[in-house]
Structure 1
């Protein structure tokens, strides 16, 4: 009898989107950072606002600035995304100020609450597609079932939060969709059923030697963070902070990795600065650059506008949400993995 050997891969040879060290930190390290932060706040609630400030200045604002390294740090990117830079922003400014003028600040807060949930979910979906594209020989679900499994926990989470009818969010007035608790509970049972099916399918794929190991690890953390942030955590603001840290850090690292792959051949004469700070071993310089720009944009420009034209916290919130809403729209255009250029840069199969 001849034994049939099942091909195996060493840990370092798994289909990472960058390498074992980077991806392990990206997948598990960021989840751990979010969970540890939440535990610290639960033990010492007075640390919430200091931690929130740190998150905003070193992750939140920073991750928005990272977007601009994709669309305007070099001539080619700026020409490709010119409208997103000079045309879209004025539209977002006028629309946001119009909503506040007509309906009030609570509308902007409510839009942000639901839009950030969708934005976080879509970013995670894109990253999951990147991991899936690195291991096309593995066993996956396809079509509507694939999407239903992925969105099951996030949808359960936002329906549960809506059913709870929290009156405030980050200390500001919030309106929530009037979701019946029964509907939220029903979505939970659906999510549980889909997750059980997914786990059984992963066991079957393992038996067949076709388990997408890295993709499975990422999916587990995706389910975990949305469950912890929207369902397991009773405090709506603490739950938001958890997933906000995870999302922001994800984005910063993914953008740097994309730029690093884009300029893998070395410093590009047509994009000297961006290609220089995107080389391997210079992540620290990329982060430092974004932090410096964050200081100029958020502390300088926005604070000056706030001082000249508005007064108080409400105006600052509106200004920050203008930047966030613009960022959400830009991201929806520049990170589509079905584009051949994106697939080539990230070394993904179509």
Structure 2
């Protein structure tokens, strides 16, 4: 994000109307920060058009991309000698999130022993909390990338930055409420009946009568649509206003929003994903996030460790050694984390497409087998730990060295 990276054209062509400053470079941004949204659409195609076994697709994704993106956080922290010195308190205290799952399980066992009819609530509440946190985590990363585009295009703290932020948050979080209100799996987790779709309007039924007869959840869905339309209308009006005034618009930012918003809006409002498990939705919105994250971490690694590899290895340790080659880096993540963790999941029967059978566990039943419960606590613990660390390690406004490693200013 130095002058070398800011791909700007002045006075001619697109440069007359647009700011053309990129986070990495035009090519890298278009491939990884923007174009990798196609991975999400590809997963959707595997489900809707190809009819593939989505559990198997999920297993491949979680081994090859999703778990390595967790590893990228650990290489950025625990495997980096200087990072360990810089943030010891965070790296120790953040491990406390691994206690949340056991606490929920123990509480459920205790309530069961007391004969409470709601004894499963703490455990299911724990899993719901992690699921919602996961979507918030994806949203926050998109917001972070938007902030980077604001920074490199001189829009930080401006009216446009505020409008963009409201549009991004609104068009990702508000439609998600509509999705949860209609999806059968999400509804059952909170005690509601099956999936919910809009009914056909009866012959001769007026629109006012039709809307008045809808279930309250569909009123919620309609309210979210109104909010999204208003937000997009304000955003479009602002762009028109800038054009009329002869002000340049940040094209990379527009390209980024044009990638992320349609994916989330379509997946949340379409009926297609109401007929499958939440796993498919999770893959679609998260695989884009994974590609972005790995690209950002690798860019960071190149700048932090790449100038003098021998010196970097002495200063930073194994993180620098692994960062000499992306494929070695990815292979190490798969071999040391993905395969052991998900191999165990296959062994105990948590993942049915790879279970060798007979297995050590069965479907999760608190009060019966606990092998799978322990496994769920482990995997969700890693997720939460990743979320907590990410909230603190990517704060360039407060970390000069991070700004240097992200090429946001001259070292």
Residue in structure 1 matching 2:138, options 120, 126, 139: 120
Distance 2:156 2:138 in 1: 26
Distance 2:340 2:87 in 1: 20
For the pair 1:292 / 2:335, whether they are aligned, the reply is yes
Higher mean alpha-carbon deviation, 321-330 vs 290-299, is at 290-299
Tell me the residue number matched to 1:64. Answer: 70
Q: CA deviation at 1:283?
A: 2.5
Higher mean alpha-carbon deviation, 321-330 vs 149-158, is at 149-158
Q: 1:251 to 1:107 in 2, by over 3 A?
A: same
CA contact (8 A) 1:134 1:347 kept: no
Could you report, residue by residue, the CA deviation over 1:150-189 in whole angstroms, capped at 9, with x for unpaired residues?
21111222210232253359xxx62389984323321221
Higher mean alpha-carbon deviation, 236-245 vs 56-65, is at 236-245
Segments of structure 1 that go 5 or more residues without pairing to the other structure are: none
For the pair 1:100 / 2:105, whether they are aligned, the reply is yes
Matches within 5 A, 1:4-43: 6=11, 14-43=20-49
TM-score (normalised: structure 2) = 0.72
CA contact (8 A) 1:112 1:321 kept: yes
For the pair 1:262 / 2:304, whether they are aligned, the reply is yes
Q: Which structure is higher in helix share?
A: 1
Could you report, residue by residue, the CA deviation over 1:37-76 in whole angstroms, capped at 9, with x for unpaired residues?
2111112434211100011111121111111011122211
For the pair 1:198 / 2:198, whether they are aligned, the reply is no
Counterpart secondary structure, 1:6: coil
Tell me the residue number matched to 2:173. Answer: 155
Matches within 5 A, 1:1-350: 6=11, 14-89=20-95, 91-103=96-108, 104=120, 105-136=123-154, 141-142=159-160, 144-164=162-182, 166-167=184-185, 174-175=189-190, 180-206=217-243, 208-232=246-270, 233-235=272-274, 236-267=278-309, 268=312, 269-278=314-323, 282-295=325-338, 298-299=341-342, 311-341=370-400, 342-348=402-408
CA contact (8 A) 2:23 2:152 kept: yes
Distance 2:98 2:323 in 1: 31
Higher mean alpha-carbon deviation, 57-66 vs 140-149, is at 140-149
Q: CA deviation at 1:321?
A: 0.5
Aligned pair count?
Answer: 336
CA contact (8 A) 1:109 1:174 kept: no
Q: CA deviation at 1:300?
A: 7.4
Higher mean alpha-carbon deviation, 77-86 vs 57-66, is at 77-86
Counterpart secondary structure, 1:72: coil
Q: CA deviation at 1:139?
A: 11
Distance 1:138 1:248 in 2: 25
Counterpart secondary structure, 2:397: coil
Q: CA deviation at 1:205?
A: 3.5
CA contact (8 A) 1:302 1:319 kept: no
Q: CA deviation at 1:100?
A: 2.5
Distance 1:304 1:43 in 2: 31
- Report the RMSD for the aligned CA atoms in angstroms: 3.2
Counterpart secondary structure, 2:298: helix
Q: CA deviation at 1:324?
A: 0.7
Distance 1:220 1:139 in 2: 22
Q: 1:18 to 1:252 in 2, by over 3 A?
A: same
Distance 1:30 1:175 in 2: 33
CA contact (8 A) 1:106 1:175 kept: no
Q: CA deviation at 1:248?
A: 1.8
Counterpart secondary structure, 1:110: helix
TM-score (normalised: structure 1) = 0.83
Q: CA deviation at 1:329?
A: 0.8
Q: 1:143 to 1:71 in 2, by over 3 A?
A: same
